[in-house]
Chain A
């Protein structure tokens, strides 16, 4: 039987405010345990939560970017469950009236087509603390620094049909929150986390199958592998005559499998109710318009503009707008050298390769946009060839100075003096009488041999177009 996969993703993004959602404690990552947990975060009696304006602004920004409805009125609710890293015994979240509803995100599929993925809702909530089970005799250590860190949970419609689509959606959303600068997107530190609801159904069937919820998918690679494992597992269960049970499964990257998390918590009943400590959140039109005015250019718009303005192929525009930093870098290079396609080739090619090789972030690259533009300008004005430029770039990357000083120091300036080129050509012709004879005899292919010899004699510094032109003339005269 042919099966169809149905996937919906729940993505938790930590909002990058400096203070927590309901308290004035800091949110910085990596502090010593409990140094950033104040009485509100600790769930001390008598404390009251006060909502952070920065959190609401970021949620509205996301809502606008997802072309969603931003609720004029949203309500915080208590989600009740017991776990030691949740000191109050409930998580403050949003349930019936989330701040963002009915949005969408367009993803690009491998065949180049676009697919619209529905975003059911995005709601605000507080993160829990961390439990450390290792290293204590019969005890668990609790660190509440993360408790109260603002999260936005973004819930997609079950519109995704493969692990690849799920990854494409997740990457797109990851790029979006970073463009908006509302989340640092650091997956290793847990700033951007994903749970996946996965089910299968016979192709053509309208009803959904029973789904499993996959947790602990903290990288794009794990999302893809966990979903693919889960699809195979469900097919095996059903084709083996069994039934898929609704449950939460944990992905184990070491064994590349998902495992049931069968606990007594299984049939959870969170008994949501409106939090009496918090009033309804009201967002008026002025607030929304103020935020709209602060929205940066978003990835899709930037990509379209790159195609239009710089006449780049769709593919190039997609790569160069994958992150806001990359797009800004590219545009700075273009401003400096006025050669959009050349700049695109270099940013995506040599430059990105060097970043990967050196394992540095764009912001720390030893060659900045101005320096790269300076190099490309020397290709443009034919001071050096593209081939020599790679050598110059390498030297620049290694800290040997800007393009002009490297070209000067290494004597790499292209030879454009016709007299000098002619002299070399004549020498090459004189040194290869046999080839000359064959060429004259009609073996045109040998032209390439002569070009090669001339380039070799000039160590690649001769202007290739000029060499072609002069060589043709000299050979004809010889």
Chain B
């Protein structure tokens, strides 16, 4: 499978990464190679093999529904770049 530069730019946009055309071309080549490598798996016989969601053969453990976390807002907010009235502040997200 080959990845073109348009594809790369789309992924970069979704990932919020800035990328110029040279970089996009470079990544398109690299990613295509990776896909080609992985595509070898297409040749494997998977008849009767269940799709795998997790490499560990185990089930999710459940915890009881109980409050165990104390309020430590001040500690958590001590490392935040900006805080006001208990809110974390971020650059404005709507126009």
Binding site for B on A (CB under 8 A): 17-19, 23-26, 32-39, 42, 44, 50-56, 73, 75, 80, 82-84, 97, 131-133, 136, 138-144, 269, 271, 274, 276, 278-282
Binding site for A on B (CB under 8 A): 10, 14, 16, 53-54, 56, 58-69, 71-73, 76-77, 82, 84-94
Q: Which residues of B contact A55 (CB under 8 A)?
A: 65
Which residue among B14, B60, B64, B93 has the maximum number of chain A CB atoms within 10 Å of its CB? B60
Cα distance A138–B65 in the bound complex, in angstroms: 39
Q: List 23 A-B contacts (CB under 8 A).
A: A19-B66, A23-B69, A24-B63, A24-B66, A24-B69, A25-B67, A33-B86, A33-B87, A34-B88, A36-B71, A50-B61, A50-B62, A52-B64, A80-B14, A83-B93, A84-B88, A136-B84, A139-B91, A140-B90, A142-B87, A279-B56, A281-B59, A281-B60
Cα distance A9–B29 in the bound complex, in angstroms: 43
Give me 6 other A-B pairs in contact (C-beta within 8 A), A133-B92, A142-B87 excluded. Answer: A34-B73, A54-B65, A133-B93, A138-B92, A140-B94, A281-B60
Q: Which 5 residue pairs spanning A and B have beta carbons closest together?
A: A54-B65, A24-B68, A141-B87, A53-B62, A33-B86
Q: Return the contact of A142 from the options B10, B62, B88 (Cβ within 8 A).
A: B88
Inter-chain contact B86/A35, CB cutoff 8 Å:
yes
Inter-chain contact B67/A139, CB cutoff 8 Å:
no
Cα distance A36–B60 in the bound complex, in angstroms: 25
Residue of A nearest to B68 (CB): A24
Residue of A nearest to B66 (CB): A19
Q: A18-B65, A54-B65 are known contacts. Are A144 and B88 too (CB-CB below 8 A)?
A: yes
Inter-chain contact A280/B73, CB cutoff 8 Å:
no
Inter-chain contact A142/B67, CB cutoff 8 Å:
no
What's the least CB distance linking A112 to chain B, in Å?
A: 41
Inter-chain contact A50/B63, CB cutoff 8 Å:
yes
Cα distance A170–B24 in the bound complex, in angstroms: 48
Cα distance A19–B65 in the bound complex, in angstroms: 6
Cα distance A51–B65 in the bound complex, in angstroms: 9
Q: Return the contact of B90 from the options A24, A84, A280 (Cβ within 8 A).
A: A84
Residue of B nearest to A87 (CB): B88
Inter-chain contact B93/A131, CB cutoff 8 Å:
yes
Inter-chain contact A280/B54, CB cutoff 8 Å:
yes
Q: Which residues of A contact B73 (CB under 8 A)?
A: 34-35, 37
Cα distance A37–B88 in the bound complex, in angstroms: 11
Inter-chain contact B85/A142, CB cutoff 8 Å:
no
Inter-chain contact A280/B88, CB cutoff 8 Å:
no
Cα distance A462–B4 in the bound complex, in angstroms: 94
Residue of B nearest to A273 (CB): B53
Residue of A nearest to B82 (CB): A139
Cα distance A399–B21 in the bound complex, in angstroms: 79
Cα distance A51–B85 in the bound complex, in angstroms: 31
Cα distance A97–B51 in the bound complex, in angstroms: 11
Cα distance A231–B92 in the bound complex, in angstroms: 34
Q: A51-B63, A139-B89 are known contacts. Are A42 and B76 too (CB-CB below 8 A)?
A: yes
Q: Which residues of A contact B63 (CB under 8 A)?
A: 24, 50-53
Residue of B nearest to A267 (CB): B10
What's the least CB distance linking A92 to chain B, in Å?
A: 12
Inter-chain contact A280/B53, CB cutoff 8 Å:
yes
Cα distance A80–B66 in the bound complex, in angstroms: 28
